Amino acid sequence: MGRDRHRLRLVAPGMLHELAEATAAELGVCTRPIAVRRTDTVTGESTNVGIRCGSTKANVCPSCAENNRRVRMDQAREGWHLTDEPQMPPVTRTAPVQRRVRSTRRRQDAPDLPSHQIASVTVGRTFEAPDGKSYRPSTFLTLTLPSYGPVRGDGSPVDPECYDYRRAARDALHFGELIDRFWQNLRRACGWDVQYFAAVEPQKRGAPHLHAAVRGTMPRKLIRQVVAATYHQVWWPPCDQLLYSLDQLPEWDREASGWVDRDTRQLLPTWDQALDAIDTDPEAAPAHVIRFGTRGVDVQGVVAGTEQAGGALRYLVKYLTKAVADCHTTTPTTAAALHVERLAAELRWQPCSSRCANWLLYGVQPEHAHAELLPGACPSAAHRSVNLGYAGRRCLVSRKWTGKTLTEHRADRRAHVMRALGAVGIRVDQDTPDNVEPGRYRWEAINPNDPHAPDRTELLIRAINQRRRWRAEYQQARSATDDQVA
């Protein structure tokens, strides 16, 4: 540590921090440690330490993102081919949230959906081969959205003028709801509690699609039938025709605590009033209907322990450390870059939720309206070009996949590492919140402006040296163990 400090005095502060970050990334150490004050509740002693930032994005912290990817890989592997029902903790019931109830009558343009009572079974069936061996296969499933127009190999449209950017944007915004509806329908059609580990990523054309490891198998014909019969209706106020422009927006009336028309001074309908108008209109139609594309369905049977299973698991977590728009690493062509710009421009003005400021352009006050709303500047992640309209969770895991939370999976992984290190005589320092006995320490985030805040470069250097010490001790202990065996 002393020699390192002596060398680092010769480096400019900015370069020193960059060097420390690069070294940390190389060693798998968090590159953006969060400074916290740890107080021992028994002795009263306080110490400033750095804890992992926990980011899931490689462009923020490659080390934490890679650690999260590995944990997700373990989670996916553990739940895919379970042979016993997972032990689930009791569910805490909360008061039901009041919501608007609409008719459940299926659309006339949607195929019929088979439905059975759902049994409380999550483990797939066991099959027996002619040679007497039994096996329990599972499923790897891919679902995509429909076409919005012909595209080239780089994902750009053949004819941008005919490409349906509006539908592409709205489908991306509501893709999460369609996925939820699919799992509901699949469970009803199969008659058992289907479990899944799924990842959402974009195709080259920018449309999100779903890869899912599904426990157990079901007929391919049934899956395709469920895909064709699944849809989601968005019952929002009409938003196909702009009623206002940026040059002539409604304005906030402080006395009325609402948005009013500049000319008539009439309050715009509130969100609830706009929905009431839809409920009482027998001719009302949903603002948008989203469906899967029936040609993009891919269903594969997978057996545990095979190379196919390993490859599918790696593919599931391949892009989890990247932003949606960065999943395809090839250099985009000019046409592909312009395609993304056009999609982002469409997304900028589409309402993303009931609270989106863009509703003012359509003559509706968004839910929880306030004076700072500005159409085209909604802060929701759905409008950011890096997300291509999909701002939901990238990794989707059903509750009964393993019976464990992600925190418990992280603890399992750490316990495995601790056992491996302990077997060769290494005791790891106990200096992070997830390593100590509950209640022993009190942890308090340190404000960066705190005059006693630790230097972040110093925290990085400390973590780097700690990791190097562990590795050296591990190698030394392994060598001693190998000599004893020899």
| Per-residue pLDDT tens digits for 322-357 | 988 888 756 779 999 999 999 999 999 999 999 999
pLDDT above 90: residue 178 = yes
Q: Which of 334, 368, 400 is the last residue of a domain?
A: 400
- For 448-459, what is each residue's pLDDT tens digit? 888 888 888 888
Q: Are residues 225 and 81 in the same domain?
A: yes
Q: Is residue 249 part of a domain?
A: no
**Which residues fall within 8 angstroms of residue 365, CB to CB, at 6 or more apart?**
258, 259, 267, 268, 269, 270, 271, 359
Residue 428, pLDDT score = 59
Whole-number pLDDT of residue 288:
97
* The last residue of a domain, from among 400, 431, 462: 400
> Which residue intervals of 202-281 are DSSP H helices?
220-229, 271-279
Same domain (yes/no): 134, 27: no
Last residue of a domain, one of 400, 435, 458: 400
Q: Which domain holds residue 32?
A: 2-52+407-485
Residues 345 and 198 in one domain: yes
Residue 250 lies in a domain: no
pLDDT tens per residue across span 34-67:
999 889 888 889 888 888 999 999 999 999 999 9
Q: Are 83 and 123 in contact (CB under 8 A)?
A: yes
The reply to whether 276 falls in a domain is: no
**Is 37 found in the same domain as 116?**
no
Is 269 within the bounds of a domain?
no
CA dist 267 and 252 (Å) reads 9
Give the span between the Cα atoms of 259 and 11, in whole angstroms. Answer: 57
Tell me, yes or no, whether 76 and 123 share the same domain. yes
Domain identity same for 48 and 118:
no
* For the ranges 98-107, 111-120, 267-276, 465-474, the one whose mean pLDDT is highest: 267-276
Tell me: do 394 and 412 sit in the same domain: no
426 and 303 in a common domain: no
Instruction: Please write the tens of the pLDDT for every residue from 296-326.
Output: 899 999 999 899 999 999 999 999 999 888 8
Q: How many domains does the chain have?
A: 2
Residue 6 is predicted with a pLDDT of 52
CB 239 within 8 A of CB 356: no
| Dihedral over Cα of 152, 153, 154, 155: its sign | positive
In a domain, 480, yes or no: yes
The CA distance from 426 to 433, in Å, is 20
Domain assignment present for residue 461? The answer is yes
Residues 469 and 394 in one domain: no
Higher-scoring residue by pLDDT: 360, 432: 360
Asked if the structure places residue 425 within a domain, the reply is yes
Residues 391, 426 within the same domain: no
Does residue 472 belong to any structural domain of this protein? yes
Tell me: do 332 and 190 sit in the same domain: yes
Same domain, residue pair 385 and 444: no
**Helical axes 175-190 vs 165-173, angle rounded to 10°:** 60
